[in-house]
Amino acid sequence: MPKVSSDTLWELAAAEVRSRESGGVEEDGGEATGERTVFLIGSKAGGKTSLLLRCLDRDEPPKPTLALEYTFGRRAKGHNTPKDIAHLWELGGGTSLSDLIQIPVTPLNIRSLSVILVLDLSKPNILWGTMEKLVEAAQSQVEKASSQAQRGEKAKPGAKSQTSVHLPARVLPKDYPDRDLISPFPVPLLIVGSKYDLFQELDSHNKKVVSKTLRFIAHYYAASLIFTSIKSESLMSKMKSFFSHLAFGLDRGKTVSGDPTKPLIIPAGSDSFTQIGSPPANDVDISSLHAKNPKDLWKKVYERAFPPESINEQRELKDPAKDPQYKEPLIDAMRAQKDQELEQYKRNVAKSWKGLQLES
């Protein structure tokens, strides 16, 4: 009988533990455990659920997302091997429920986290505002969770005094385009322009403004960018590649398309400010806009072409029970009955108090 190798199960387990303790994090956010977290945020009714179901190959009708929802995906790596697991969170309500970002973004999953920002291309007037608020809210929570994770590691018995590598700060290659001019999002970020079929109905100049602006934003945050539509199998195939790259670490493909007349497909690191060019401001002198920085300049140019709508999602009704998209006839009828009973009770109580005041 051959001698058993010294690489026993215990040796392999010890090596795995050492790898985790040393901060063994993959380049795009995945850990050696085979579990990753993907957080979807974006435009209200922008198609996040539909895109997610298609990426998971689930043949079921999409339902409006109520606040924050969780699901998961699994992928077999091979015969008799543990499956990779992707924890998938989706935030509904556009920007109105951004406070809930703190729930899926925690110190426990920060090293395996990636974010997908879905922007509705058919509504360019609210696109910048949606992007800006959600990116800022997500970045703030990621940084907070990172700080908490680092403090937790340092508090462990026997922890090293040096700065821990458990922060998910992305270290870009030295040859990354415009490395010193951009502000990388702290975890892998994918920006998805949804409803490309409706976007095609815009005139050529407006499409150019949206396309160039999103290229700038994606490059500024060191994010990947893709335009897609659930009505196009070819575009959804490419979208699935990007999703599987974040969720399971698969190859995202090498396709790159920066032509504004076609759907944009630009993996992170494939663009540059030189290729993007200057903001498309044909009717105004850019120097007269008094921008504080390049991002502010692009914002001013974009909002000249697409003035932001005055309706703020924060002012919208936040009670899902009164939102028509969540209609449930039986439940709504019971709710109406209970509301009437409550109003009657309030009136009776008010009368009794008035009677007591008169008697006194």
Q: Which residue has the tokens 């709504």?
A: 332
Distance CA 57, CA 282 (A): 44
Distance CA 213, CA 219 (A): 10
pTM of the model: 0.77
Distance CA 280, CA 84 (A): 44
What would the mean pLDDT of 14-20 be, rounded to a whole number?
51
Q: Give the model's confidence band at 355: pLDDT under 50 very low, under 70 low, under 90 confident, else very high.
A: low
- The dihedral sign for the CA sequence 75, 107, 10, 22: positive
In this predicted structure, the answer to whether residue 168 has a pLDDT above a threshold of 60 is no
Structure tokens at 15: 């090596």
Class of the CATH domain delimited by 26-155+164-305: alpha beta
Instruction: Kindly report the three-state secondary structure assignment for every residue of 324-348.
Output: HHHCCHHHHHHHHHHHHHHHHHHHH
DSSP annotation of 4 reads: P
More confident residue, 193 or 345: 193
pLDDT for the residue numbered 341: 83
- The dihedral sign for the CA sequence 110, 111, 112, 116: positive
Say whether 39 sits in a helix, a strand or coil: strand
pLDDT over 90 percentage in the chain: 58
What would the mean pLDDT of 136-154 be, rounded to a whole number?
89
pLDDT for the residue numbered 232: 96
Say whether 84 sits in a helix, a strand or coil: strand
pLDDT for the residue numbered 314: 45
In this predicted structure, the answer to whether residue 316 has a pLDDT above a threshold of 90 is no
pLDDT for the residue numbered 154: 67
Using one digit for the tens of pLDDT, what is the confidence trace for 48-103? 999 999 999 998 998 888 889 999 999 887 777 788 999 999 999 999 999 999 99
Distance CA 198, CA 195 (A): 6
Structure tokens at 209: 């403004």
Under 8 Å between Cβ of 187 and 36: no
Under 8 Å between Cβ of 252 and 267: yes
In this predicted structure, the answer to whether residue 124 has a pLDDT above a threshold of 90 is yes
Q: Enumerate the domain spans of the chain.
A: 26-155+164-305, 324-352
Q: Which residue has the tokens 């009164």?
A: 322
Q: Give the model's confidence band at 282: pLDDT under 50 very low, under 70 low, under 90 confident, else very high.
A: confident
Distance CA 93, CA 98 (A): 8
- The dihedral sign for the CA sequence 316, 320, 322, 326: positive
Say whether 76 sits in a helix, a strand or coil: strand
Structure tokens at 283: 């009717």
pLDDT for the residue numbered 89: 97
Distance CA 37, CA 113 (A): 5
- Transcribe 109-138 into DSSP letters: TGGGEEEEEEEETT-GGGHHHHHHHHHHHH
Beta bridge partner(s), residue 210: none
Count CB atoms within 10 A of the CB of residue 42.
26
Which DSSP helix (H) or strand (E) runs through 191? strand 189-194
More confident residue, 338 or 218: 218
CA-wise closest residue to 313 among 41, 102, 52, 40: 41
The dihedrals phi and psi of 272, each to the nearest 5 degrees, come to: -155, 160
Distance CA 354, CA 88 (A): 55
